[in-house]
Amino acid sequence: MFHYESNKNTNFLSQLHIINTRLMLSKLIRSISYLFKYLPFIGLTLVLAQSDGKLSGDIKEAGLYYKDIAFDWKPPNKEFDLHTLDIGELRFSFSNMKLTHFDKVNSEAAGITFSGPDFSMKDLTFQSNVRSKNWITQEKIRRLKKRESIPKEALKLIVEASDLFILDHDTLPIDINELVIKKYISMDTPPLNNNTWTYYLDLPEKIISKPTHLNLVPDRNSISYDWNSRNFRVDSEQDSLYSLPLVDWKYEFKINEIGQLFTSDLQMELEKDTMNFDIMMKRGQFKIKGCSFTAIPNDILDDRTQISLPDMMIETRDLALSGRFDKTPTLYRGGGLFRIRNFEIKIPEDLKEDPEIQSILDIMGIWNNSIMLRLLEFELNLLNQFTGDLKFKFHTPFMKISCIGDFSIRQNNSLKPDIYLHNTEIRIHPISLGIRKYIRNWEKDNGKTFTRKGGTIVLNLDGPIQNPNIQGY
């Protein structure tokens, strides 16, 4: 089993990385068991392992290879729908496998060293033509209903208060102030305390809610409650959205290349009641290049939704893991890197016009409908089973965030270990004017001031990851 020094202190971050690493290694172990089941010479090993002895074997390469895969599918009763899938090349393989088996009086030991599983795929394209509802319109309706939920709920309270007023006084209330003064409603309780809407009585015809200058859409139409029909009057904007016809969508998902490489060393010891194992993974890497998704309604390019991921990489190195198959293993050391570059989302022009989305884009200083993530990088190093260090980078055209620190970990034979941060520093550098203004408004509203070095906010974290102590404001 592996033994490492435990007296070295380091840096922080993710429980999630360690959990994902273990899951990946678990899948690796299951793949190896598959090989043991199906490779002929392994069966020979088991036959010979009746007394003290040794058996070894080598496999240079084993795997699957496919080229120029193509599928077409037209669903039944769907005249306008068509789906196609094309893959230029697909590979799955193991290489340089060396296997040994030792048979002793009361136990068995097996070992395997190999490169893999290696997986690669090139030129994947999935295209779909579908006639369906316009999800852009549905999203606009959802957001419109959300904005109207506050004034409509307030109007219902005013209607109930007015009914009680009539029962008590046998007359209609003159205005909102009369309802407030005689304590039928309170403007200090939600949703009436929301200052983006104001309310008027025009009885016995209607009750009106109008947006104030603080509203995202101060010039939008008012919302009216009809006193006689006891219902909200039809909203022309919303009604027009509901009446739109179905849309012919063109979807396309593309990946230029996917690559996965592993080099591992697995040692197993089998006894009557236990099955112990040691795993040493020298190197593991997973890459995606040229990934994109596009959705176009009715061939209107301005309303296309586009997501592009030119480069993503997950890398592990020098992982040392040991334990039993019936218990959660212990991770003794290892490093990992997760990186995304130039991730971009293009928002449809029609959806960009939504007030809430437009407000967010204005804050971030985005004018071309395109949200760009230039770099997302997270690096984690576990120096021993107790300590490690971390680095984090988040770069966009509107904000930069970086983090560096140490962490300690208590694995506790659990997939949810206790993680504590030490000497962890977060730097936040707002770039766009909207982000800087938003932060200043937050400081003003909450009566706090962030610690700054120049224009960069500096925060220091210590303590448990679930609820760390934050210093810097």
Poorest-pLDDT segment among 97-106, 303-312, 374-383? 97-106
Average pLDDT, the chain: 82
Contact 103, 50 (CB under 8 A): yes
Higher pLDDT, 42 or 375: 375
Q: Residue 413: left if φ>0, alpha if ψ -120 to 50, beta else—which one?
A: left
Higher pLDDT, 277 or 401: 401
Higher pLDDT, 44 or 313: 313
As to burial, measured by CB atoms within 10 angstroms (0-12 exposed, 13-18 middle, 19+ buried), residue 71 is: exposed
The candidate with the shortest Cα–Cα distance to 318, out of 276, 263, 379, is 263
pLDDT, tens digit (0-9, with 9 covering 90-100), for 334-365:
999 999 999 999 988 888 888 888 888 888 88
Three-state secondary structure along 449-467? CCCEECCEEEEEEEEECCC
Bridge partners for 110 per DSSP: 101, 268
What is the model's pLDDT at position 269? 55
What is the model's pLDDT at position 105? 62
Task: Give residue 277's pLDDT band: very low, low, confident or very high (50, 70, 90).
Answer: confident
Bridge partners for 62 per DSSP: 94
What is the model's pLDDT at position 217? 78
Contact 216, 356 (CB under 8 A): yes
pLDDT (average), residues 139-152: 86
What is the model's pLDDT at position 153? 93
- Determine what percent of the chain is predicted with pLDDT higher than 90: 44
What is the model's pLDDT at position 42? 41
Contact 2, 320 (CB under 8 A): yes
Backbone angles phi and psi of 277, in degrees to 5: -150, 150
- Provide the whole-model pTM: 0.71
What is the model's pLDDT at position 108? 67
What is the model's pLDDT at position 239? 67
Higher pLDDT, 42 or 417: 417
Whether 317 has a pLDDT exceeding 60, the answer reads: yes
What is the model's pLDDT at position 288? 94
Task: Give residue 142's pLDDT band: very low, low, confident or very high (50, 70, 90).
Answer: confident
Task: Give residue 112's pLDDT band: very low, low, confident or very high (50, 70, 90).
Answer: confident
What is the model's pLDDT at position 40? 43
Whether 290 has a pLDDT exceeding 70, the answer reads: yes
Task: Give residue 329's pLDDT band: very low, low, confident or very high (50, 70, 90).
Answer: confident
Higher pLDDT, 208 or 146: 208
What is the model's pLDDT at position 24? 42
- Determine what percent of the chain is predicted with pLDDT higher than 70: 84
Whether 46 has a pLDDT exceeding 60, the answer reads: no
| Cα-based distances in Å from 222 to 140, 175, 203, 239, 408 | 18, 17, 16, 15, 57
Higher pLDDT, 280 or 400: 400
CA distance 124 to 257: 8
What is the model's pLDDT at position 44? 39
Whether 38 has a pLDDT exceeding 70, the answer reads: no
The candidate with the shortest Cα–Cα distance to 171, out of 182, 187, 155, is 182
pLDDT, tens digit (0-9, with 9 covering 90-100), for 368-411:
888 999 999 999 999 998 999 999 999 999 999 999 999 999 88
What is the model's pLDDT at position 13? 36
Whether 413 has a pLDDT exceeding 80, the answer reads: no
| Cα-based distances in Å from 311 to 108, 208, 255, 261, 467 | 45, 53, 11, 16, 33
